[in-house]
Structure 1
Amino acid sequence: MAGQPVRGIRFASLGSGSRGNCLVVQAGRTRVMVDCGFSVAETERRLARLGLAPEDIDAVLITHEHSDHVGSAAAFSRRHRRQVWLTAGTYDALRDTDFHALRIIHAHEPLALGDLAIDPYPVPHDAREPCQFVLSDGDRRLGLLTDAGSVTPHMRRVLDGCHALLLECNHDVQMLATGPYPESLKRRVGGDYGHLANTQAEALLAEMDTSRLTHLVAMHLSEKNNTEALALEALSRALGCTPQWLDVARQEEGFGWRDA
């Protein structure tokens, strides 16, 4: 199954949240992982859950240097001889840069890898040079947006018209304000370079062209400052749909294969 090409574009999550993030995207015979925030052994275990081995991955794209996104990227690259793609700022911020192979990317320059077209774009986050990605087979477009504290007009334009969207709903504003985090961390998470709140995700959707959207997944939910019900309520309000139409990426199981 792993060696079979697919029509269109498909995607699955190994897990999403503050304890680790990793997404797999495939078009044709080309597969990439976006981020590698679990240990190598745990990444291997979660890939196997999708019917994949590390050798089935063509490259690893990194969004930024925070440990829940880049934790074992270098070790995974060395062990399985995979190339890692990341911005120069992200590379400079890493402690472990001993990659098997490396490609420096620019957040405003489109990329191509086999059957996948990849459009990085910059986001406001408290990292050195963070970016997110839109991935496509040339027809269907999958947008990924997590780890951003605010939304810029450029981000909205990049994500317009996507067929599938993986969108951060990190926290509920009230839960964050009254929750257990120290005040400094509350300011960081809720600031312009922190993480998107449910209301910010809702506002972005209300301004976007969502006419082609067939999948919307709530991503990177805080385990202390949000609930699935609150996130889905906000997203469903923006789209005028029922919460049952939406998906959630969970920390432990992520989600299985979806077709854009």
Structure 2
Amino acid sequence: MACSNLYIASLNSGSNGNCYYVGNDREAVLIDAGISCRETEKRMSRLGLSMDKVKAIFISHEHTDHIKGLSTLSAKFNLPVYITPGTLKGCRFNLREDLIRTLFSRQNIQIGDLNISSFLKLHDAAEPHSFLVSCGETKVGVFTDLGAVCEELTSHFRQCHAAFLETNYDEELLSRSAYPYFLKKRISGGMGHLSNKQALDLFTAHKPSFMSHLLLSHLSKDNNCPELVTNLFKEHANGTEIIVASRYTETEVYTIFEPIAVHSF
């Protein structure tokens, strides 16, 4: 039986671009394509990851920092793009018709030995979705651009051996920032982004005992601090490795190991 380890990396995470790699030994997918095609290739090459293994791109929503490199990347490597009709309508460029795959909520898509499931999230976009990528029993969640924690998010988070989880802003830093009032309300109003505290509450209440890695994602440049949020989560990690997904460069590749079966006799 094939090994179901997963290999994950953030190629970039933040309002300047988002792109996440999840794969096994044979195939991989990208969640979002918010950095240029050239930069995607460059960062994957530095990590020793091959574009030949990437079989599809999944798009969470139509905001520029999630689709900026999509058209060129998809066309250059003939990669199918899984995207909802509402998200596709919100894109301001044309994708090749032959590469468009319609995505729906609560759909399970098989890409080789990878299974990608989608579910709706709370965010101010047309049809925003989060994803759970599985290989055998190993599961990785990509949970960013979240206005609030909902039951769907909680249910999927409990299944994860690793997750990319949004920790966009510190509440005090946001309140003291120079952002205009309407933007502060957009960020914190329930359809924008998840605060450190909201993410930590989810983590402490629902983290499964088998979660090995948590990548803190989509940090605000102005309203958060990598050291602050890392220290906050490490206090409650209980064996989970805490990593900040940078807005400036790629993370290393992390191996998420296949769960060990426990037999009772």
TM (normalized to structure 1)?
Answer: 0.92
| CA apart distance, 1:79 | 2.0
Aligned to 1:80: 77
Aligned with residue 205 of structure 1, among 195, 203, 206: 203
In 2, the alpha carbon distance for the partners of 1:248 and 1:11 equals 13
| CA apart distance, 1:101 | 0.5
Please say if 1:15 is aligned against 2:39: no
| CA apart distance, 1:89 | 1.4
Where 2:198 maps in the other structure, the secondary structure is helix
- Worse overlay, 77-86 or 129-138: 77-86
Where 2:5 maps in the other structure, the secondary structure is strand
Q: Deviations over 1:56-100 (max 9, x none)?
A: 321111111111111121121112211111112111111113235
Q: Deviations over 1:216-237 (max 9, x none)?
A: 1111111100001221233234
Letter in 2 for 1:57: V
In 1, the alpha carbon distance for the partners of 2:118 and 2:194 equals 19
Structure 2 counterparts to residues 39-188 of structure 1, below 5 A: 39-99=36-96, 101-188=99-186
Where 1:58 maps in the other structure, the secondary structure is strand
Aligned to 2:251: 255
In 2, the alpha carbon distance for the partners of 1:32 and 1:117 equals 10
Aligned to 2:216: 218
Letter in 1 for 2:72: A
- Contact 2:4/2:138 (CA < 8 Å) preserved in 1? no
Any stretches of 5+ residues in structure 2 without a counterpart? 257-265
| CA apart distance, 1:126 | 0.5
| CA apart distance, 1:113 | 0.7
Where 1:47 maps in the other structure, the secondary structure is helix
**Number of equivalent positions:** 254
| CA apart distance, 1:21 | 0.8
Letter in 2 for 1:89: G
| CA apart distance, 1:7 | 4.7
The percent identity for this pair of structures is 34
Any stretches of 5+ residues in structure 1 without a counterpart? none
